[in-house]
Structure 1
Amino acid sequence: MDLGIAGKRAIICASSKGLGKGCAIALAEAGCEIVVNGRDASTLAATAEEIRKNTGAQVTEVAADVSTKKGQDALLAACPAPDILINNNGGPPLKDFRELDREAILNGVTQNMVTPIELIQAVIDGMCERGFGRIVNITSSSVYMPIPGLDLSSGARAGLTSFLGGVARTVANRNVTINTVLPGKMDTDRLTNNIKATAQKTGVSYEEAEKSVLRLVPAGRAGTAEEFGSACAFLCSRQAAYITGQNLLVDGGLVPKSF
């Protein structure tokens, strides 16, 4: 399917690996000019070169922490007038809520709620003026189905979802959409690390812990970054102009809900 976004400019935060990289690849394949971002310059450079080689897309690298003003300024300097913004950032590690101090809580909220709001504030008026904008926020299925130990991540991402629910309705008439994609058990470093932590805590092998985790997924497996990126790219498409303020689960049926 031609998504109708060839030539559009896209910023994809935290896209040197994992789900962000999957989104960057999908948008590059759709013909977008993309800005990729990550904190590790070498990993980011390898990702950028891979995407250039495989898609022929124009790729700009910005090695920076998107949670900081300096990092945000660098992204916006590389792409001052983006048509597409994919908000993504690492979440707090698995930890009992009793162990969270004030600083950790504020950092988690900054990373997973404040940062995407700040970036949206910076780009949304330009999108409205140009008559096209697609904003996609990557959160987590734990917003719907909380996971003990990921309370800070779930809470911050749920706050972002509610905050933007109203904002989305104020710009829909300017062909600017704001949607959220909620990953479930995806084949990423985060899932691997969580399985390792579970294995260590329960005293079983990694393979046993992995089977236990994935047994909960009706699809019987973890999702891929490619599948996730394709879903994200569709929400950025011309065809998705009438979809806004929505939360799309990409979870293999993990969350047992119909509405």
Structure 2
Amino acid sequence: MDLGIAGRKAIVCASSRGLGRGCAEALAEAGCSVVINGRDAAALDMTAAAIRQRTGADVTAVVADVSTPEGQKLLLAACPEPDILVNNNGGPPYRNFRELDREAMIAGVVQNMVTPIELIQAVVGGMMERGFGRIVDITSASVRTPISGLDLSSGARAGLTAFLAGVAREVAPHGVTINHILPGIFDTDRLKAGFARAAAVRGASVDAVKAERMAEVPVGRLGTPEEFGKLCAFLCSVHAGYITGQSILIDGGAFRTTV
């Protein structure tokens, strides 16, 4: 399917690896010029080179912490008028809510709520003027179903979802859509670290912990960044102009619901 976005300009935050990289690759495949971002310069350069080689796309790498005003300025300097913005950022580490102090809670809210809102504020006006814009926020399945130890991440991402619910309707008449993708269990470095941590606590093998988690997923496997990226690219396409203000769960059926 031709997504109709060849030649469009995209910013994909936190995209040197994992789900962000999956989104950047899919948008590059669709013909977009892509600005990718990360804090590890070596990893980011490797990702940029790999995407260029595989897709032939124009890829710009911006080393920056997207949570900071300075990092956001660098991203926007590299792509002042993006047609597509994919918000992504690392979340707070697993931690019992009793261990969270005020500083940690504020940092978590800045990471997963304030930062994407700030970037949307910076780009949405231009999108509205041009009559086209696609904004996709990578949140988490924990917005819908709690995950122990991720209370801060869940709360910040749920706050982002609620904040943007009205905004999505406000900008929709101008050709701009805002949607959220809620990943379940995906094969990423963050998940692997979680498996290792759980294995160490329980005295079990990492393979055993991984097998237990996969058994909870009806499709019987982990998700891949590639398939996640394809969903993101579709939401950014010309074909998704009638989809906005939605939170789309991609979790292999793990969250059991009738609606």
CA RMSD of aligned residues (A): 0.6
CA contact (8 A) 1:195 1:213 kept: no
1:198-221 residue CA offsets vs partner (Å, 9 max, x unmatched): 112222111111111111111111
TM-score by length of 1: 0.99
CA contact (8 A) 1:9 1:32 kept: yes
Instruction: Return 5+ residue gaps in structure 1 as ranges.
Output: none
Alignment partner of 1:19: what SS? Answer: helix
Match for residue 8 of structure 1? 8
Match for residue 148 of structure 1? 148
| Correspondence 1:25-64 to 2 at 5 A | 25-64=25-64
User: In 2, distance between residues paired with 1:258 and 1:181?
Assistant: 19
Deviation at residue 258 of structure 1 after TM alignment: 2.8
User: In 2, distance between residues paired with 1:200 and 1:147?
Assistant: 19
The one-letter code of the counterpart of 1:179 is N
Quick check: 1:88 aligned with 2:102?
A: no
Alignment partner of 1:228: what SS? Answer: helix
**Identity score, percent:** 65
Alignment partner of 1:26: what SS? Answer: helix
Match for residue 66 of structure 2? 66
Match for residue 128 of structure 1? 128
1:152-171 residue CA offsets vs partner (Å, 9 max, x unmatched): 00110000001001100001
Match for residue 21 of structure 1? 21
More displaced 10-residue stretch of structure 1: 197-206 or 79-88: 197-206
User: In 1, distance between residues paired with 2:194 and 2:257?
Assistant: 24
CA contact (8 A) 1:108 1:156 kept: yes
Instruction: Return 5+ residue gaps in structure 2 as ranges.
Output: none
The one-letter code of the counterpart of 2:177 is T
Alignment partner of 1:82: what SS? Answer: coil
User: In 2, distance between residues paired with 1:98 and 1:158?
Assistant: 20
User: In 1, distance between residues paired with 2:192 and 2:9?
Assistant: 32
User: Structure 1: which 4+ aligned runs deviate by more than 2 Å?
Assistant: none
CA contact (8 A) 1:134 1:177 kept: yes
**Number of corresponding residues:** 259
User: In 1, distance between residues paired with 2:250 and 2:256?
Assistant: 13
User: In 1, distance between residues paired with 2:216 and 2:92?
Assistant: 23
TM-score by length of 2: 0.99
CA contact (8 A) 1:3 1:234 kept: yes
| Correspondence 1:174-253 to 2 at 5 A | 174-253=174-253
The one-letter code of the counterpart of 1:157 is R
